[in-house]
Amino acid sequence: MPGGSTPQKFDVIVVGAGPAGSAAAYLLAKKGFKVLVIERGRGAGSKELYGGRVYAAPLREVWPELDKEAPIHRWVRKERISVVNGETVATIEYTASKPVSFTAYLPELAGWMAKKAEEAGALLVDEVRVDEIIVENGKIVGVRSGDDRVYADVVIDAEGANRLLLEKLGMVERASPENLAVGVKEVIKIGGKNIEERFGLEPGEGLAWVLVGVTSGAPGGGFIYTFKDTVSLGVVVHLRGAIKAIESGAFTDHVYKLVEGLRIHPYFRKLWADGDIVEYGAHLTIEGGLSFMPKKLVAPGFVIIGDAAGLLLNTGYTIRGVDFAVYSGKLAAEAVEEAFNKGGPTEENLKVYEEKLRDSFVYKELVKHRGIEKVMKDPDFFTKYPAMLTLTLGKLFEGEYEEPTILEALLSSAREAGVPLLSSLLKLLWVVRRL
Ligand SMILES: Cc1cc2nc3c(=O)[nH]c(=O)nc-3n(C[C@H](O)[C@H](O)[C@H](O)COP(=O)(O)OP(=O)(O)OC[C@H]3O[C@@H](n4cnc5c(N)ncnc54)[C@H](O)[C@@H]3O)c2cc1C
């Protein structure tokens, strides 16, 4: 258990009041640890931009009261995946028997999580940026912000994807465009009744919609999520792909034009007709995955959680970020408590965090889907294959007199889209094993 602390010294300092930091702070404060959370933004979650869908089960393990208390907008019952090629759109829809995820605004959700941590006894200081993690005699002992220094037995790094502090510590390299994506989104207010009518939803139900073929050929995709009375639509583009697309002339404008293209697309625009754009944002995000994980997640007196630890999985049809972050915060809290019980937060004692993470669904998911980043970087998946699919469907459904067989339609569409069938089939098999 925590030792005797002076007012300037805490048992644990958590850097960042995102989902990861607040989960760790909440659980540790509940156990009686003296916890300080430092957040550079105004309020928790104020600097974040994300899509909008969160998987509930890992969060319930931290906050069993989640369903009753959290600022949940809609429970996702409908999943849609659309392939867009110019004005043609092919869509698959799935209605789930029971919803396992919900939509929420991240600032509201992160605000709720941070409030829970404060109620449990953690001290949250916002509008303060940590400039440096203090190392003394090979051990992490606290943080510095400007001229102020605060000390703790353990510092938990929950700074999110930009990892400037980890970079300063020499624990990670600067992220390159290979590991980054840029997301741009708009939120349009159309009212709850319109959402339910236009998206075919029952009251309280939500929809998550993934779009392929809306990134002007650059690796990436689009998303649409329904909230209480707003819809969020956005596009995420792999940064290296975006740079290449700009160089090749495929993008002649800024990435935000892609979202505008989606907003005014003839198939989609009626969904938010007469709505007001109430929010707009752009943000860099990590691609996540094992290749983005620091070699070590612990050091003497130090633990790394959430996006900072690379714990994000984007399969192309789902993004698991918030739940992974929260779960890693939970595992870190357990590990810190065990380390104190074993005599102190030495690197050896904190290693139990790495072990717990390796045994958890988070790491197993990342291992199972490893290599998926490669798909995200292959332009064929965002140009040729969508074109082949929509051309095939066009041939099957738009013949005025004659209809080809499915095989004829497929073969001629593959030729037109420039898809070599055998090598593509092998590539698709490789991908399907990792999705
Ligand atoms: C465009 C986009 C779409 C996404 N869509 C989804 C989605 O639909 N579902 C999903 O589950 N996930 C999604 N994600 C991922 C999700 O947002 C992250 O995985 C999640 O927020 C990670 O939580 P975290 O606590 O690790 O980091 P963050 O949420 O980034 O929190 C880090 C916090 O640390 C603070 N901070 C950073 N540096 C300092 C410092 N030096 N001093 C003090 N404070 C600091 C930041 O201000 C921030 O509040 C998306 C991300 C993006 C960018």
- Three-state DSSP string of 140-194: EEEEEECCEEEEEEEEEECCCCCCHHHHHCCCCCCCCHHHEEEEEEEEEECCHHH
279 shares a domain with 241: yes
120 shares a domain with 35: yes
Q: Please give the Cα distance from 19 to 21 (Å, whole number).
A: 6
Exposure class string for 366-400: b at 16+ Cβ within 10 A, else e: beebeebbebbbbbbbbbbbbbbbbbbbebbeeee
Q: Which of 15, 26, 37, 48 to mutate to test the pocket of ligand 1 (most atoms within 8 A of CB)?
A: 48
Q: What is the pLDDT of residue 1?
A: 42
Classify residue 76: in a domain, yes or no: no
Domain hosting 312: range is: 9-65+106-175+288-369
Q: Is the pTM of this model over 0.95?
A: no
190 shares a domain with 170: no
Q: What is the pLDDT of residue 218?
A: 78
265 shares a domain with 131: no
Q: Mean pLDDT, to the nearest integer, of 220-224?
A: 91
130 shares a domain with 49: yes
Place of tokens 């790394």: 304
Q: How many domains does the chain have?
A: 3
Q: Mean pLDDT, to the nearest integer, of 339-357?
A: 97
Ligand 1 centroid–CA 360 distance in Å is 21
Name the residue with higher pLDDT: 176 or 342.
342
Ligand 1 centroid–CA 406 distance in Å is 45
Q: Mean pLDDT, to the nearest integer, of 115-138?
A: 97
Q: What is the pLDDT of residue 252?
A: 66
- Most confident segment among 118-132, 216-230, 402-416: 118-132
Q: What is the pLDDT of residue 250?
A: 67
Last residue in a domain, options 369, 401, 423: 369
Classify residue 80: in a domain, yes or no: no
| pLDDT band at residue 315 under the 50/70/90 scheme | confident
Q: Which of 319, 330, 331, 362 to mutate to test the pocket of ligand 1 (most atoms within 8 A of CB)?
A: 319
| pLDDT band at residue 434 under the 50/70/90 scheme | low
Q: Mean pLDDT, to the nearest integer, of 130-155?
A: 96
296 shares a domain with 161: yes
Ligand 1 centroid–CA 110 distance in Å is 9
Name the residue with higher pLDDT: 383 or 361.
361
130 shares a domain with 159: yes
Q: What is the pLDDT of residue 313?
A: 87
Last residue in a domain, options 264, 286, 308: 286
* pLDDT per position as a tens digit, 235-279: 988 887 777 777 777 666 677 788 999 999 999 999 999 999 998
Look at residue 382 and tell me whether its pLDDT is greater than 90.
no
Classify residue 79: in a domain, yes or no: no
The answer to whether 49 touches 109, Cβ cutoff 8 Å, is no
- Residues with Cβ within 8 Å of residue 207, at least 6 apart in sequence: 74, 76, 77, 78, 79, 80, 199, 201, 224, 225, 226
Classify residue 161: in a domain, yes or no: yes
Classify residue 201: in a domain, yes or no: yes
267 shares a domain with 397: no
Two tokens at 397?
């459904």
* CATH number of the CATH domain containing 262: 3.30.9.90
Q: Please give the Cα distance from 24 to 35 (Å, whole number).
A: 10
Classify residue 310: in a domain, yes or no: yes
Q: What is the pLDDT of residue 247?
A: 78
| pLDDT band at residue 49 under the 50/70/90 scheme | low
222 shares a domain with 272: yes
278 shares a domain with 296: no
Name the residue with higher pLDDT: 217 or 313.
313
Q: What is the pLDDT of residue 283?
A: 78
Name the residue with higher pLDDT: 279 or 115.
115
* pLDDT per position as a tens digit, 161-204: 889 999 999 999 887 777 788 888 899 999 999 999 999 999 99
Last residue in a domain, options 270, 286, 302: 286
Classify residue 301: in a domain, yes or no: yes
Q: What is the pLDDT of residue 285?
A: 78
Q: What is the pLDDT of residue 328?
A: 98
User: What is the percent of the chain where pLDDT is above 90?
Assistant: 63
* CATH number of the CATH domain containing 135: 3.50.50.60
Ligand 1 centroid–CA 266 distance in Å is 33
194 shares a domain with 321: no
Name the residue with higher pLDDT: 7 or 252.
252
170 shares a domain with 30: yes
Q: Mean pLDDT, to the nearest integer, of 77-91?
A: 93
283 lines ligand 1 (CB under 6 A): yes
Classify residue 403: in a domain, yes or no: yes
